[in-house]
Each structure stands twice: as C-alpha cells, then as structure tokens.
C-alpha cells in the first residue's frame, strides 16, 4: 500500500468529507445524526489511509453501539482517500447536551 502525506488544506477537505458522511449516521434512539448530537470528538488520518474516528455515546453501555459503529463504516466507505476506518469509543470528556448543535437542540426541544 502506498503511503500518502496530506497537506493542511487536503486534511481539512478530507475531514469535511468525513464529517458530511457522518451526518448521515442517525442515532436510532434520538433520531438525530451523530455529528449534530456532538458525539464525534475527533477525526484523524494516518499516512496509510486509515481514518481514526474518536466518538462517544450518549450513555455508557448503549446497546446500539455496534449498530452505530457499523453505520459509520458504511458512511465513510465510499470516500476515496480512506482505505480503512477505526472507530474508538471514548468516555472522556463525558458527553453532555452542551455538545449538541443548535439544530439538535431545537429538534429535541432542549434549550
């Protein structure tokens, strides 16, 4: 596999593609995408085409973690620059409703 180094503009464009793809992944319990819920903490890229997505869930022990992880893999599969995806669940900092976008807050009736 050939290695690729991205410059800052390419990384920003690639991260934008990944975030847009992740907006298609809907939390089955809340009906809002995982980006607007604030569940995505970081997206990083390795030279070998590996995309590492650090995310959390609204609750520890969420029974739908595997479903969401599989949907993430599906969502970014067609991004040409990405050869593989690793989803890392993190619990710190803990998720709170403060991480939600304005859109998600309005949709869920949270002020």
Over its C-alpha atoms, the chain yields an Rg (Å, rounded) of: 14
5 versus 91: the higher-pLDDT residue is 91
The domain made up of 8-108 has a fold known as GMP Synthetase; Chain A, domain 3 (3.30.300)
Rounded mean pLDDT, 94-100 = 92
Q: pTM of the entire structure? A: 0.88
Residue 3 is predicted with a pLDDT of 53
d(CA 21, CA 27): 14
Q: What is the pLDDT of residues 24-74, one digit of tens each?
A: 999 998 999 999 999 999 999 988 889 999 999 988 888 888 999 999 999
Could you tell me if residue 109 is left (phi over 0), alpha (psi between -120 and 50 degrees) or otherwise beta? left
């Amino acid at each position: 596999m050939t290695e690729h180094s991205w410059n800052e503009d390419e990384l920003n464009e690639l991260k934008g593609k990944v975030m847009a793809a992740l907006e298609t992944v809907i939390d089955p319990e809340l009906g809002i995408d995982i980006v607007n819920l604030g569940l995505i903490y970081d997206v990083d890229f390795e030279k070998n085409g590996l995309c590492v997505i650090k995310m959390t869930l609204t609750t520890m022990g969420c029974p739908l973690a595997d479903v969401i992880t599989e949907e993430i893999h599906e969502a970014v599969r067609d991004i040409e620059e990405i050869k593989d995806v690793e989803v890392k669940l993190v619990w710190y900092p803990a998720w709170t409703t403060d991480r939600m976008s304005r859109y998600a807050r309005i949709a869920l009736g949270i002020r």
